[in-house]
Amino acid sequence: MSEWWTYRLSDFLMFSPRSYHRLFELMNAELAAMLWIALAAGAAVLVALATNRAHAATLTSVVLALAWCWVGWAFHWQRFATINWAAAWFAIGFAVEGALWALCAAGGASQCRPSGPARALGLGLWLVALALHPVIGVLLGRPWSQAQTFSMAPDPTVLATLGALLLVTVRGAGPPTRLRRALGVTLWIVPLTWCAIGGATLWTLHAPEAWLLPAAGALAVLAAATRKRGWPAR
C-alpha cells in the first residue's frame, strides 16, 4: 500500500452502520432457536464457574470451543464476509481460537480460582457478555432484534472469553509443561486481536460503545498479570 501514511482508519470501513447491524437482525431471526441454546449454555458456564463446580473448566472450554467455531462460521464466514472481504480472515482466526479451546478441554482444563479482583472481573465479564452487552444496543436506540448475543456475535463471545481466561487455565494431571504454558498464552492472542479490530470497527462506525472491547481487553490483561492463583485440591 503506497502512501500508507495518508490512510485513516475510516478509509478501510466499507459498510454502513445500518448494514452492519442488519446482519445481526437477520441472523437472530434466522437462528432464533440457536440463540436461546447458546444463552442457556453461557448461563450454565457462569453458574458452574461461580460455584466452583468440579467440571466447570472443562464445560467452559467445550462451550467456548463451540462458540468460537460457530461465530467464525455462522457470522464471519456466512454473513459478515458478504459486506467485508476481511471477514474471511476473521473466520479463520475464530476457528483457530475454537480449536485451541478444544485442545484446552482435551488437555486438562482447570479452574485456577484467582482471588479478589481477577475473579470478580472474570465472572463480571462473563455476566456482561451474557446479560449487559445485548442491552447496550437497545439503550443506544437500536431495536432488540439487532441484539448481539454470546455465541452468535463476536463481541460478547470475546468478552466472555476474556472472563474465562482469568478463571480457567490448562493444567492437566502432571506438572505444567512448556506446551501447556504456550497454549495458555496463545489462547489470549485472538480475543485481544479482536478487541482491537472490533473496537476499531465500532469507532469508525461512530458507535458510542466502541471503547468497551479495548477497555475489557486491557483490564483482563492487567488482572491476569497481577492475579494470585489458588489451585483446586486434586
Partner 1 sequence: MVNVRRRAAVASPMDRGHILSRRVLLQHSAGWSVAGLAGRGAFGQPAAGIGAMVTRPIPSSGEALPVVGLGSWITFNVGNDPVARAGCAEVMRAFFEAGGRLIDSSPMYGSSQGVIGDGLARIGRTNAVFAADKVWVSSGARGPAQIEESRRLWGVARFDLLQVHNLLGWEEHLPTLRAMKAAGRLRYLGITTSEGRRHREVESILRSQPLDFVQITYNIVDREVEQRILPLAHERGVAVIVNRPFQEGALLQRLQQHRLPQWAAEIGCDGWAQFVLKFIVSHPAVTCAIPATSSVAHVRQNLGAARGAMPDAAMRERMARHVAAL
Taking CA atoms, 54 is separated from 48, 109, 114, in Å, by 8, 11, 16
If the CB atoms of residues 13 and 123 are measured against partner 1, the closer one turns out to be 13
| Min dist. Cβ of residue 155 to partner 1 (A) | 19
Q: How far apart are CA 38 and CA 230, in angstroms?
A: 30
If the CB atoms of residues 23 and 202 are measured against partner 1, the closer one turns out to be 23
| Min dist. Cβ of residue 138 to partner 1 (A) | 21
Q: How far apart are CA 69 and CA 99, in angstroms?
A: 8
Region 57-96 residues binding partner 1, contact defined as CB under 8 A: 79, 82-85
| Min dist. Cβ of residue 27 to partner 1 (A) | 11
| Min dist. Cβ of residue 83 to partner 1 (A) | 4
Question: x/- string (CB under 8 A) for partner 1, residues 3-42?
Answer: x--x---xx-xxxx-xx--xx--x----------------
In the three-class reduction of DSSP (H, G, I as helix; E, B as strand; rest coil), residue 169 is classed as: strand
Region 200-219 residues binding partner 1, contact defined as CB under 8 A: none
10-15 contacts, C-beta under 8 A, 24 or more apart: 10/204, 12/204, 13/201, 13/204, 13/205, 14/83, 14/84, 14/85, 15/83, 15/84
If the CB atoms of residues 12 and 231 are measured against partner 1, the closer one turns out to be 12
If the CB atoms of residues 87 and 128 are measured against partner 1, the closer one turns out to be 87
Region 136-175 residues binding partner 1, contact defined as CB under 8 A: none
Count interface residues toward partner 1 (CB under 8 A).
19
Cα 92 to its chain centre, rounded Å, is: 15
CA neighbor of 159 nearest in space, from 229, 67, 79, 86? 67
Q: How far apart are CA 155 and CA 159, in angstroms?
A: 6
Binding site for partner 1 (CB under 8 A): 2-3, 6, 10-11, 13-16, 18-19, 22-23, 26, 79, 82-85
